[in-house]
Amino acid sequence: MSGWKSTSDLLAIGLPVAAAGAAWANSDTVGLKEFAATLVSTVGVSEILKYSIHKTRPDGSDNRSFPSGHTAVAFAAVGFIDRRWGDSQPYRPWLYGAAALTGLARVKADKHHWQDVMAGAAIGYASARWLTTARDGHTALSAQALGRAGVLVTWHQSW
């Protein structure tokens, strides 16, 4: 169980560091500011919900299970990279896989229920979509909730 917790901790730190590093390496000051705003909003919304909802963790350690902050931060970082640079980042599927692994690790570590990690993923991804601008000429992946009908996932390319 501690291996899963360590995995989720490393990913929740490593993915944001990678996102900030990508912006820094590209001398993208606008991107750095947008990423900072994305992280602040993601953590802020997650913490407000944790302290408002009081859902008990599967391991019973406290009542701050909903939503998963680790997963929210991971998806905010990957969503930022995807939104900002689109198809110039060929390893996007691997990054989304790493963000999903963050959520899986939180469930396996007995820190969250599946609903918690799904909500965290939605919060992080939505923050990145809302607060990050795409650079010209890149593709983007987006998702939209359709209520009980499911989720619409779209892929678009600027021409």
**10-residue mean pLDDT series, the chain (159 residues):** 88 96 93 96 96 95 96 97 83 92 96 96 96 71 64 55
Task: Please report which residue ranges of 26-91 form alpha helices under DSSP H.
Answer: 29-53, 69-85
The confidence score (pLDDT) of residue 154 equals 61
The confidence score (pLDDT) of residue 86 equals 82
Rounded Cα distance between 83 and 100, Å, is 17
122 three-class SS:
helix
Per-residue b/e over 45-63, b at no fewer than 16 CB within 10 Å? bbeebbeeeebebeeeeee
Q: Where are the domains of the chain?
A: 2-156
The confidence score (pLDDT) of residue 159 equals 43
Both structure tokens of 157:
């390319």
The rounded radius of gyration (Å) of the Cα atoms in the chain is 15
The confidence score (pLDDT) of residue 135 equals 79
Q: How much is the pTM?
A: 0.84
Count the Cβ atoms, other than its own, within 10 Å of residue 110: 15
Both structure tokens of 72:
């929210």
Which residues lie closer than 8 Å to 32 by C-beta, 6 or more apart? Answer: 20, 23, 24
